[in-house]
Amino acid sequence: MTKNIQTAIVGVTGYAGAELARLLLHHPRLKNHPPVFAGRVDTKDLAHGGVPLAEIHPQLGDNAGAANLKLEPFSWELLTTRGVEVLFLATPHEQSREWVPEALKRGLRVIDLSAAWRLTEAANRAVYDFADEATELAASTQSQAVYGMPELHRKQIASAQLVANPGCYATSIILALKPLVAAGLIDLDRGIVADAKSGVSGAGKAATARTHFMYAADNLSAYSVFAHRHTGELLEQAGVSGCQIVFTPHLLPIPRGILSTIYVHFKMAQTHESVAQVYREFFRDSPMVRLYDKSLPQIQYSVRTNYADIGFQLDSSGKRAVIVSCLDNLLKGAAGQAVQNLNVMQGWPESEGLE
């Protein structure tokens, strides 16, 4: 039995932060070792030692002590005093760019839910316009980052100091495409179309005109066409070029969940069994991926779980396929995947605390 570890979450006030707190509070390996919650605390709350967690997220209150936990003012001294070993950052990209180098310097292992360190190629990072892009410190930090998708990088994650948790859209599409690209089945010259739809929580907790109820309800809209920030992840991790895939995200009038419909051409005619075997082999040791054989996934089956659901159908020629990939953007697309990465880093069963 691995010893208990002390975790900390910075950014618990957001949607993903709330899910992360819930998962860690109930993780069987972390009983009696709740996370340290740190962040910005208003002056009026300092006299009380912080903000009660149950005041921020009432759904996290219970009779086992969670109601007594507080969001405390962030400081490196707080993390040191509390013996934090693994730091989760559910913070904006710019904040993570500033704090991750310091965390690594202090010997912490970091799981960063932002996009700050996901991309290895400068051309793909350009969409974020990071202020420190040209510095040696940023380059050194980036070189230590492992893309946090266990299904692709399990061995590297196990020993990583910095895990860059993937984006939600990226996770749904990469998992569906990577096995077929790696097997050389897809005719990349014919192009791939990834038509993806996400619930409103994928845009974060801060309200915008697009996520306002009067805009999102009874509506379906495309956005960030040819310009979505997750595109770089798709290119780097799926192993395709920008001219080989078109990725278009859409906003669904539901709280959470992603459904990606992906259209591909094969180099040679395939059977349902030949394609299914590629997926089965690729995900043989991946407990958080569910393969659908006789039907297609739906959001309602994967929402509020950490599963990525993948199914497909071939046309009568066997040379075209439609792949459907579903997941919960706040779990497998964010907090759940972060806990999955923690399990891998600690040598625990990958699905522990997630099923």
Domain 7-165+334-346 -> CATH class: alpha beta
**78, 83, 87, 91: CA torsion to nearest 10:** -10
Q: What is the pLDDT of residues 91-124, one digit of tens each?
A: 999 999 999 999 999 999 999 999 999 999 999 9
Active-site residue set? 168
Ordered by start, the domain boundaries in the chain are 7-165+334-346, 168-327
Percent above pLDDT 70 for the chain? 99
How far is 72 from 54, CA to CA, in rounded Å? 13
Q: What is the pLDDT of residues 139-155, one digit of tens each?
A: 999 999 999 999 999 99
The per-residue pLDDT for 85 is 98
Domain 168-327: assigned CATH number: 3.30.360.10
Are domains 7-165+334-346 and 168-327 of this chain identical in fold? no
pTM of the predicted model, to two decimals? 0.95
The per-residue pLDDT for 1 is 45
Residue 351 burial (C-beta neighbours within 10 Å; 0-12, 13-18, 19+): middle
Confidence of residue 64 (pLDDT cuts 50, 70, 90): low
Q: What is the pLDDT of residues 318-327, one digit of tens each?
A: 999 999 999 9
Structure tokens at 171: 């996770």
Q: Per DSSP, what are the bridge partners of residue 39?
A: 73
User: Average pLDDT, stretch 295-307?
Assistant: 98
